[in-house]
Structure 1
Amino acid sequence: MRSVTVKQLADACGLTVYSGQEYLDKRLIKTDDISRPGLELTGYFDYYPAERVQLFGMTEISFSQRLTSENQLKVMRQLCTDETPCLVVSRSLPVPESMATAAAEKNIPILGTKSSTSRIASRITYYLQGQLAERQSLHGVLVDIYGLGVLITGDSGVGKSETALDLIKRGHRLIADDRVEVYKKDEFTVYGEPPKILAHLLEIRGVGIIDVMNLYGAGAVRTHAHISLIVHLENWSKDKQFDRLGSGEEEQELLGIKIPKITIPVKVGRNMAIIVEAAAMNYRAKTMGYDATKTFDENLNNLIKENSTQNK
Structure 2
Amino acid sequence: MTLPKVRDLLERKGNLLQLEALTGDLGLDRDMPTPEASSPGLVLAGFTKRFAQTRIHVLGQTEITYLAALDAAARRRSLETFFTFDLPCVVVTKGQEPPSELLELARAKGIAVIRTKLKTSEFYRRLKPYLDEVFAPTTTVHGSLADVFGVGLLFVGRSGIGKSECVLDLVERGHRLVADDVVHINRLGNDVLIGRGHDLARHYMEIRGVGLIDIQALFGIRAVRQQKRVEVVVQLADWDASREYDRTGLDQERTDILEVSVPVVTVPLNPGKNLTVICEVVAMNHLLRYGGVDSAKRFNERLLKRMAEPRELQEYLEGDYE
Q: TM above 0.5, one fold?
A: yes
Alignment pair present for 1:4 and 2:7: no
Alignment pair present for 1:196 and 2:199: yes
Provide the secondary structure at the position in 1 that maps to 2:230. Answer: strand
C-alpha distance after superposition, 1:257-308 (max 9, x if no partner): 2211111112232232221121022112112110111232344456556793
Report the identity percentage. Answer: 32
Q: Return the alpha-carbon distance in structure 1 between the equivalents of residues 31 and 46 of structure 2.
A: 26
Number of positions where the alignment pairs a residue of Structure 1 with one of Structure 2: 312
Alignment pair present for 1:31 and 2:29: no
Q: Return the alpha-carbon distance in structure 2 between the equivalents of residues 42 and 244 of structure 1.
A: 67
- Provide structure 1 residue ranges, at least 5 long, that are not aligned to the other structure: none
Provide the secondary structure at the position in 2 that maps to 1:210. Answer: strand
Q: Return the alpha-carbon distance in structure 1 between the equivalents of residues 214 and 7 of structure 2.
A: 30
**2:266 paired residue among 251, 263, 266:** 263
- The amino acid that maps onto 1:127 is Y
Q: Which residue of 2 aligns with 1:212?
A: 215
Q: Return the alpha-carbon distance in structure 2 between the equivalents of residues 136 and 17 of structure 1.
A: 34
Provide the secondary structure at the position in 1 that maps to 2:94. Answer: coil
Q: TM-score with structure 1 length normalisation? A: 0.87
Higher Cα Rg, which structure: 2
Q: Which residue of 2 aligns with 1:283?
A: 286
What is the deviation of 1:101?
2.6
Q: How does 1:143-292 map to 2 (within 5 A)?
A: 143-292=146-295
Two-structure CA RMSD over aligned residues (Å): 2.6
8 Å Cα contact 2:26-2:107 kept in structure 1: no
8 Å Cα contact 1:9-1:124 kept in structure 2: no
C-alpha distance after superposition, 1:17-68 (max 9, x if no partner): 2423424752322211223101111122233333321122233222222222
- The amino acid that maps onto 1:263 is T
- Provide structure 2 residue ranges, at least 5 long, that are not aligned to the other structure: 317-322
Q: Return the alpha-carbon distance in structure 2 between the equivalents of residues 197 and 47 of structure 1.
A: 44
8 Å Cα contact 2:3-2:31 kept in structure 1: yes
Q: Which runs of 4+ in 1 moved over 4 A?
A: 301-307
8 Å Cα contact 1:82-1:106 kept in structure 2: no
Q: Return the alpha-carbon distance in structure 2 between the equivalents of residues 125 and 302 of structure 1.
A: 51
**1:42 paired residue among 41, 45, 67:** 45
8 Å Cα contact 1:30-1:132 kept in structure 2: no
Q: Which residue of 2 aligns with 1:54?
A: 57
8 Å Cα contact 1:50-1:79 kept in structure 2: no
Q: Return the alpha-carbon distance in structure 2 between the equivalents of residues 212 and 63 of structure 1.
A: 58
Provide the secondary structure at the position in 1 that maps to 2:103. Answer: helix
Provide the secondary structure at the position in 1 that maps to 2:229. Answer: strand
8 Å Cα contact 1:17-1:109 kept in structure 2: no
C-alpha distance after superposition, 1:108-136 (max 9, x if no partner): 33333343323322432322222122322
